[in-house]
Amino acid sequence: MGGSKKHYILLDCGFTTPHRYFADCFDPDQLEALWISHFHGDHFFGVPLLLLRFWEMGRVKPLLLAGPDGLREKIEMALDLAYPSFLGKLRYALEYRELEDGDSFQGAGFLWQVAATEHSQPDGRYTVGSANLAKGCTLMVHEAYRVAGQTANHGSLAECLALARQAGCEKLAIVHVAHYERERKSGELRRLLGESGLPGVFLPEPGESLDL
């Protein structure tokens, strides 16, 4: 993606992300950008460990951090709680990019465009803006917290499949399925995926990689 050179970005960094990330990555300078969708722990509480490990490994390359307004403050708070006074020791720069609905910029070899979604923190059910962004995408990564029905501000699997069909996405990765739903409703989940008419739909497993 992003031309002939490979670019590395990380989308959200939850509790277990650094462990998974460093199981495969031994180059401290490989990651170019980290995107944080919103400030719930399962999306950014892994950042202190990620940054600490890069420091331990001798990272020198600046890291782009992109996300919603207040990103810098939240990351610095989390760092300070996890490893007090660590921020001052970093030998690589953190370059913050705080974005609002409709913003776009070029960074790490990508064109980034953002649109707000619905959630108590904005990461959930799609909106007109986020549906527009999805049009013609090669890969859509979308949350579906519930297999059927709805929780406030989160989407359901059925909604998500409909959105991908409408948008004409080649591949759809369904993420953020509630743990209890993934387990108890696995039959219904598989059936919905099978009947979706989307050959490229899948539930990514930890560490799974995909060539685009």
189 and 157 in contact (C-beta within 8 Å)? yes
Site membership for Zn ion, residue 61 (CB under 5 A)? no
- Antiparallel, parallel or unpaired: β 9-11 and 201-202: unpaired
Rule CB under 5 A: is residue 42 a binding residue for Zn ion?
Answer: yes
- The yes or no reply on residue 53 touching Zn ion (CB under 5 A) is no
Looking at residues 99 to 138 of the shown chain, list those that interact with Zn ion (rule: CB under 5 A): 121
Identity of the residue, 32 or 156, whose beta carbon is nearer to Zn ion in the bound complex:
156
Please report how close the Cβ of residue 123 comes to Zn ion at its closest, in angstroms: 5
Which segment (33-41, 79-87, 97-105, 187-195) binds Zn ion by CB under 5 A? 33-41
Minimum distance of Zn ion from residue 14's CB (angstroms):
7
69 is an active site residue: no
- Using DSSP, state whether 118 is helix, strand or coil: strand
Q: Classify 62 as helix, strand or coil.
A: coil
Which ranges of the chain does DSSP label H, i.e. alpha helix? 17-24, 41-44, 47-56, 71-82, 128-134, 157-167, 179-184, 186-194
Beginning with the edge strand found earlier in the chain, give each strand of the sheet holding 33-35 in spatial order. 9-11, 33-35, 63-68, 94-99
Catalytic pick among 42, 69, 80, 101: 42
- Name the residue with the smallest CB distance to Zn ion: 40
Q: What is the contact surface with Zn ion in residues (CB under 5 A)? A: 40, 42, 121
- Cite the active site residues: 42
